[in-house]
Every structure is written in C-alpha cells, then in structure tokens.
Amino acid sequence: MPVSQPHLIIATARSTETARWAQEFRNAYPDWKVDEVVPGQPSTGATYAVVWQPDPILFQQEPDLRATFNLGAGVDAVAGSIPAGMPLYRLEDAGMAEQMAEYALYGVLRAVGRFTPYEEQARKGTWKAYRPIDRRQWPVAVLGLGAIGSKIAQVIASLGYPVQGWSRRLREADFPCYAGDQGLKDCVSASRILVNALPLTAQTEGLINRELLSHLQPGGFLINVARGGHLVDADVVEALQSGHLSGALLDAFTQEPLPADHPYWGIASVMVTPHISGITVRDLALEQIGSRIVLLQQGKPASGQVDHTLGY
Ligand code: GLV
C-alpha cells in the first residue's frame, strides 16, 4: 500500500509568520499538504505540526498529529502544553550555533575591553597601542553544552581563553567539564565570564541568581543567549550596580520586547539586544524538519527528539 504524503499544519504566534512558513514548506515539498492554523477551525487531519510558540489549543484541535517540530532550539514555549505522549523535535544547530558563538565572542571582546580604548581613540585621531589581553585573566564558563553551548565553548577556547563547561550530565570535551550542583559552583568560581546557553526548564529557571553570581570572579561579565527566565533580574542588576559584574550582554528576557522602564536599559555597561543571537536560518530549518519527517514516514528514528521529562 503506498504511504500517504505528509500532511503538515503550521502554527506560530503570528499569522503572517505562519503563512510565510507554510508557503516555504509548500515550495520546498510540493507534494505535501500544508495547512495554516486557524484557531477554532475543525481538525484539518494534519499528521505533523510545525510550530513556534503555538496556541496550546492546537493540540486539542488536531487529534491526528503524530509528531510536532519546533522552529527553534528552545522548546520551553511548547513543552508545557504538548500532550505527554507526543514526540516533540527541536532544531539542532541549524545555523544557529555559529551565530551564537559569534555573539558570545563579541561579548568576550567587550568584557576584556579588546577594542574599547581604540573606539574612543579613533574618533580623536590618537595613535596609542596597549599590551595584548592576558587571556588567563579572563576564564570563561559556558553553562549548557548542547549543540549551541559546545560550539560557543570551542570557538572561545580556540582563541586561547581558558574555558570550562557545565551541563546536567557530565560531558567529555577538549576543555574541563563539570556537572551537578557542586560542579556548577566550581565551574563558575573558576571563571570571570559567564555564558548562559542552557535550556529553560523547571531545574534551570532562576539559576543565575545572587548566590551563583557571588561565585563568579570579581569584575565578571555575563552573556545570556538562552532565556530571560534563567536570570533573576534583580540579582543581576544588583551585581552590576555593586561592580561585582563589570558588564553584561543580554539577548533574551522574561518579557519581550524588554519593557521601556526595565533597569537594564539604564545601565551603561549592559548591552541589550532584541533576541537576535541565534536567528533560525529558514533554509536549514526547512531542510532539517523536512528530512526528519521523511525518516518518520519511513518508520525510522529522527534526531532532535525532546525528552519530555527533562524538558529539552
Ligand atoms: C530561539 O530563541 C530558539 O530557541 O531557537
């Protein structure tokens, strides 16, 4: 019996985005049926959902779904509403890891002041050279060693900065790795720059708080490429105001856009960016999701499946 073609439903938080992804899937896979979510409509009979921050009603509306594909790396916006037995896949790297490594490296360059004096001097026409950065003074902790965190750690380590990583499960890498509660303290205590690339789960929410920051070496720098929910903002602000943190490069926030009256905007040593550290590369996402659907259609396993109990 011939296997029927995949039937997709696209569901994002914005109808224009939903329509754009739907068109791109139709163009890439012309034989597949691709619907766009319309809240409250009867079931389309779709067997695969492709989502970004979908309305949770989707999962009641579409009882025939066999799997859901997230259009990003972090699944926190869908993990809470997806039915327990439904396979959920997230993007793995898909062009985001190198963007995020570049972003984190930019944070490191800001932290160490690699170009800071020259920006000022170039405007004034001053020719004055400084000694090279002593990288040993700027050890870096990378929290989260998935596809993204590992890439960040590798890129920064390749430039001679001492790097250590922390993850839930102990990893093997070319740099020292830590795991567990004590491991987290040890990893951060050995560092002056903290890069957060963790998934947001019940275990990691609020992890970057006063206590953890107190272990970071004085004059430290925080780089957040993950989620706002990892940070206790009041504690970060306090650490910045006291000078324990010399600055921060922050890309994700509990409320986005970051409200105009948020204290981060007013702190000169903080650079806020509008959640751009790793933007989904559309062609690569289409390719990655499409090839996984083909595997599932053939009854084969596909990578990137989220463990519902871990939340990533
Ligand atoms: C972006 O934030 C993502 O999770 O891909």
pTM of the model: 0.95
Give tens-digit pLDDT for 200-250: 999 999 999 999 999 999 999 999 999 999 999 999 999 999 999 999 999
Residue percentage of the chain with pLDDT more than 90: 98
Measured between alpha carbons, how far is 155 from 125 in angstroms, rounded to an integer? 33
Q: Are 87 and 295 in contact (CB under 8 A)?
A: no
Ligand 1 centre to CA of 1 (Å) is 39
Ligand 1 centre to CA of 275 (Å) is 8
Measured between alpha carbons, how far is 51 from 91 in angstroms, rounded to an integer? 11
Measured between alpha carbons, how far is 222 from 250 in angstroms, rounded to an integer? 8
Nearest CA to ligand 1 atom 1: 72
Residue 144 Cβ < 6 Å to ligand 1: no
**CA neighbor of 162 nearest in space, from 190, 183, 181, 198:** 190
Confidence of residue 2 (pLDDT cuts 50, 70, 90): low
Measured between alpha carbons, how far is 118 from 141 in angstroms, rounded to an integer? 27
Give tens-digit pLDDT for 88-115: 999 999 999 999 999 999 999 999 999 9
Measured between alpha carbons, how far is 147 from 156 in angstroms, rounded to an integer? 15
Residue 72 Cβ < 6 Å to ligand 1: yes
Which residues, at least 6 apart from 10, have a Cβ–Cβ distance to it below 8 Å? 18, 21, 22, 25, 34, 35, 36, 37, 49, 50, 51
Nearest CA to ligand 1 atom 4: 74
Q: Which atom of ligand 1 is nearest to the CA of 227?
A: 2
1 has pLDDT over 60: no
Nearest CA to ligand 1 atom 5: 72
The order of strands in the sheet holding 67-70 is 33-36, 7-12, 48-52, 67-70, 88-89
Arithmetic mean of pLDDT over the chain: 97
Confidence of residue 40 (pLDDT cuts 50, 70, 90): confident
180 has pLDDT over 80: yes
Ligand 1 centre to CA of 128 (Å) is 41
Mean pLDDT of 26-37: 98
Mutate to test the pocket of ligand 1, among 21, 52, 69, 96 (most ligand atoms within 8 A of CB): 96
Q: Which atom of ligand 1 is nearest to the CA of 275?
A: 2
Give the residue numbers marked as catalytic. 227, 275
The secondary structure of residue 244, as a DSSP letter, is: S
**CA neighbor of 168 nearest in space, from 193, 196, 145, 142:** 145
Q: Are 166 and 183 in contact (CB under 8 A)?
A: yes
Residue 74 Cβ < 6 Å to ligand 1: yes
